[in-house]
Amino acid sequence: MIIEIGHFALLLATLIALVQTVLPAVGAWKNSSPMMATATPAALLQLTLITISFCALTHAYLTSDFSVENVWANSHSAKPWLYKLSGVWGNHEGSMLLWVLILASFGAAVALFGDNLPTTFRARVLSVQASIALAFLLFIVFTSNPFLRLDPAAPEGRGLNPILQDPALAFHPPFLYAGYVGFSMAFSFAVAALLEGRIDAAWARWVRPWTLAAWMTLTLGIAMGSWWAYYELGWGGWWFWDPVENASFMPWLAGTALLHSASVMEKREALKVWTILLAILTFSLSLMGTFLVRSGVLTSVHAFAVDPKRGSVILVIMTIFVGGALALYALRASKLKIGGLFQPISREGALVLNNILLTTATATVFVGTLYPLLLEAIDKDAKISVGPPYFNMTFVPLMIPLLIAIPVGALLPWKRGDLTGALQRLTWAAIASVVVILGAFALTRRGPWLAPLAIGVGAWVIFGAIADWLTRVRAFEVKPDEVLRRARNLPRAAYGSILAHAGVGLMTIGITATTAWQTEIIKAMKPGETLAVAGYDITFRGVAPRRGANYQETVGAFKVDRHGSPVLELETAKRLYDMPRQATTEAGIYASLAGDLYLVLGDELQDGGYAIRAYFNPLVRFIWLGAVLMSLGGLLSLSDRRLRVGAPGRASARSPAPAE
């Protein structure tokens, strides 16, 4: 019964989305207030209905209701409850339902908090947002309905892919989706602005926080995926330039560019037209990501999520929204007034450089990901592969100047900058970075000679973030108690950007160190034997079988010593899940800030020994720590008073912003 309620709510939500698409748009066109006023209740009702729908499906999963086809195909009664819950979005149908749930939440947020937006503008935003929801709700109802019954009901489910039965992966999709879908807000605002033919200050003040929220969750989502790949796939890699990874990385890159150009627009009303285009492109890349993964065009070698019908429907949806928005942009963009003026050497100029490099990087990843497909479409025999070496060769050179520019840009004032002044304030940071480079050379004395330089670049970004703070609080100019007062009064947005930039530096160091100086030992070992890696002595104690909740595993036990004194006992396992019967690797990891000791149990060899791989991944934690800092920076920035004041329901007047 609950399932039927969920199904019915889904159909009703589709209808409401249709109403919310049409009425406010017509109202804005005819300037009819009653028609525009329908948008708010419609958006709230739509969210309520989709929530009911989502809860119904969740209930079916938690109670293992195998009379529902979707639950039967993707769940199992013996699964721990966490994975019953994450099973809701661990499959195509459920994940699409989560997609529209998040979309509707964003729409409802505009309806609830958007009082300070011009009436017609707000009606148009809600209409565009509802049109996206309508498209995806129709997609769910006609091609991916999770509420279909199975008759007769099955006694037991087919189980969730064991790969997904992991805490990090359980919450990876919701974060990723919140990011993807969050960019829909920027898109709806951009399209509404083009329809209106003008943008006012409220635009950027609205778009930036929502973009920030989306960007933050996407950052965490991608980091979770990468962290999971690191400990689960079992060879210590953390990023593979896989097409599916790239699909999530492209919106992130474009979103990062959008975040920075929106800040120019918010503060200086410059780059309006460009920001609109970026907003459209960022969400288009999110749709693209959904299409690439859902259609299976990129994974055609494997039977993964392949359903040509679904793929072509998403392609149609994508064409309508992306094509429509870009056509509108081509028609209307010239009508938008060009805003604030600035010199090339200024904060704005630096942010333009940021945008040029990030957009080029996005385009590079885009072309690299799709090129083999396009080439094959033109010439059947021309098969090529574009793998990590291509991306490393093109992406990294684009990032280096970006990283070097961060500290300089952050210290340049708006409008008209003084490069010499900024560089002077960075002198100590430059010297400290050179010291770090020399230190890295002296410490390692092996591996690629470029690596210490890259470590230096990471350090430069971190020192630059510190210099940014010191300059803002005038640490070298005023008395300590005045510095403290300034530190307290510094807007949270400033702390946010300092923290996020420091995170970028930390991540650069982690990526460089673990790529350049990873140690790998592959050895056939019998119980009692010892191997040495990065100063650790690892003794193989032997293997034993063990039974888990819904899997059987072979556990290899190891004793880890350092300089003759015991450090810890470490386990690594090979698991075989009951349903579906699939194997996974559980790496044994001894994590510390200096680096991870990473052990993997391989196959049993003919002589009774085991293939053991031991890695030491120096500073690898910095990668995810950096990502967390970036997200925290976003969160801090989001909590800034300025944004809360700009937010809804309160006075639209801005209180005098503290000088930055």
Partner 1 sequence: MRTCKANVVVVALASLCCIGAASAVEPGERLADPALEARARGLSTELRCLVCQNQSIDDSNAPLARDLRMLVRERLTAGDSDKDVRAFVVARYGDFVLLKPPFNLNTLLLWLTPLLVLGGIAALIVPKMRRSSVRSSNQESQPLTAEEEAQLERLLRLQTSTETPKTKL
Footprint of partner 1 on 289-308 (CB under 8 A): 290, 293-294, 298-299, 301-305
Rounded least distance, CB 228 to partner 1, Å: 6
Report 251-270 residues binding partner 1 (CB under 8 A).
Answer: 270
Report 526-585 residues binding partner 1 (CB under 8 A).
Answer: 574, 580, 582-585
Nearest to partner 1 of 188, 359 (CB atom): 359
Rounded least distance, CB 48 to partner 1, Å: 25
Report 348-377 residues binding partner 1 (CB under 8 A).
Answer: 349, 352, 355-357, 359-360, 363-364, 367-368, 371, 375
Work out which of 84, 124, 172, 260 binds partner 1, going by CB under 8 A. Answer: 172
Nearest to partner 1 of 76, 425 (CB atom): 76
Nearest to partner 1 of 38, 359 (CB atom): 359
DSSP-derived secondary structure for 37-53: HTHHHHHHHHHHHHHHH
Nearest to partner 1 of 52, 373 (CB atom): 373
- What would the x/- binding string for partner 1 be over residues 302 to 341, using CB under 8 A? xxxx--------------------------------x--x
In contact, 507 and 514? CB cutoff 8 Å: no
d(CA 466, CA 541): 47
Report 137-156 residues binding partner 1 (CB under 8 A).
Answer: none
Work out which of 59, 158, 198, 559 binds partner 1, going by CB under 8 A. Answer: 158
d(CA 7, CA 12): 9
Q: Is 7 in the site for partner 1 (CB under 8 A)?
A: no
d(CA 450, CA 305): 41
Of 50, 70, 249, 25, the residue nearest 160 (C-alpha): 70
Nearest to partner 1 of 1, 653 (CB atom): 653
In contact, 251 and 282? CB cutoff 8 Å: yes
SS3 of 602, please?
strand
Nearest to partner 1 of 474, 581 (CB atom): 581
Work out which of 29, 113, 390, 469 binds partner 1, going by CB under 8 A. Answer: 390
Q: Is 169 in the site for partner 1 (CB under 8 A)?
A: yes
Rounded least distance, CB 298 to partner 1, Å: 8
Rounded least distance, CB 122 to partner 1, Å: 18
Please count the residues of this chain forming the interface with partner 1, following the rule CB under 8 A: 105
> Length of the chain in residues, anyone?
660
Report 214-243 residues binding partner 1 (CB under 8 A).
Answer: 222, 225, 228-229, 232-235, 237, 240-243
Rounded least distance, CB 386 to partner 1, Å: 6
In contact, 153 and 66? CB cutoff 8 Å: yes
Nearest to partner 1 of 202, 628 (CB atom): 202
278's CB contacts (< 8 A; 6+ apart) are: 254, 257, 258, 261, 355, 359
Nearest to partner 1 of 24, 251 (CB atom): 251
337-to-38, 597, 650 alpha-carbon distances in Å:
31, 57, 28
The one-letter amino acid code at 127 reads S
Rounded least distance, CB 6 to partner 1, Å: 20
Rounded least distance, CB 430 to partner 1, Å: 26
d(CA 416, CA 433): 27
229-to-165, 567, 630 alpha-carbon distances in Å:
13, 26, 20
- What would the x/- binding string for partner 1 be over residues 268 to 287, using CB under 8 A? --x---x-------------
Of 531, 635, 640, 564, the residue nearest 214 (C-alpha): 635
In contact, 292 and 310? CB cutoff 8 Å: no
H or E stretch including 545? strand 536-547
Nearest to partner 1 of 135, 386 (CB atom): 386
Nearest to partner 1 of 41, 308 (CB atom): 308
Stretch touching partner 1 by CB under 8 A, among 102-110, 168-176, 317-325, 442-450 = 168-176
Say how many C-beta atoms besides its own lie within 10 A of residue 233's C-beta: 16
Rounded least distance, CB 511 to partner 1, Å: 16
Report 76-95 residues binding partner 1 (CB under 8 A).
Answer: 89-92, 95
Report 589-608 residues binding partner 1 (CB under 8 A).
Answer: 600-603, 605
Rounded least distance, CB 237 to partner 1, Å: 7
H or E stretch including 523? strand 519-525
Rounded least distance, CB 443 to partner 1, Å: 21
Nearest to partner 1 of 312, 489 (CB atom): 489
Report 39-78 residues binding partner 1 (CB under 8 A).
Answer: 73-74
Rounded least distance, CB 660 to partner 1, Å: 13
Q: Put the strands of the sheet holding 583-586 in their side by side order.
A: 530-533, 536-547, 551-562, 565-577, 583-586
DSSP-derived secondary structure for 73-108: HH--TTS-HHHHHHTTTSSHHHHHHHHHHHHHHHHH
Work out which of 135, 213, 279, 386 binds partner 1, going by CB under 8 A. Answer: 386
d(CA 392, CA 623): 17
Report 464-523 residues binding partner 1 (CB under 8 A).
Answer: 488-489, 491-492, 522-523
Q: Is 164 in the site for partner 1 (CB under 8 A)?
A: yes
Work out which of 218, 247, 287, 533 binds partner 1, going by CB under 8 A. Answer: 247
Report 620-649 residues binding partner 1 (CB under 8 A).
Answer: 641
The values of phi and psi at residue 300, to 5°, are -65, -20
Q: Could you tell me where the beta strands, DSSP code E, fall in 548-650?
A: 551-562, 565-577, 583-586, 588-592, 595-604, 610-618
Rounded least distance, CB 241 to partner 1, Å: 8
Nearest to partner 1 of 115, 242 (CB atom): 242
Nearest to partner 1 of 52, 333 (CB atom): 333
d(CA 550, CA 576): 9
d(CA 465, CA 463): 5
DSSP-derived secondary structure for 129-183: HHHHHHHHHHHHHHH--TT-B-SSPPSS-----GGG-SHHHHHHHHHHHHHHHHH
Tell me the helices (H) and strands (E) count for the chain, helix number first.
22, 9
Stretch touching partner 1 by CB under 8 A, among 386-394, 430-438, 507-515, 541-549 = 386-394
Report 394-423 residues binding partner 1 (CB under 8 A).
Answer: 394, 397-398
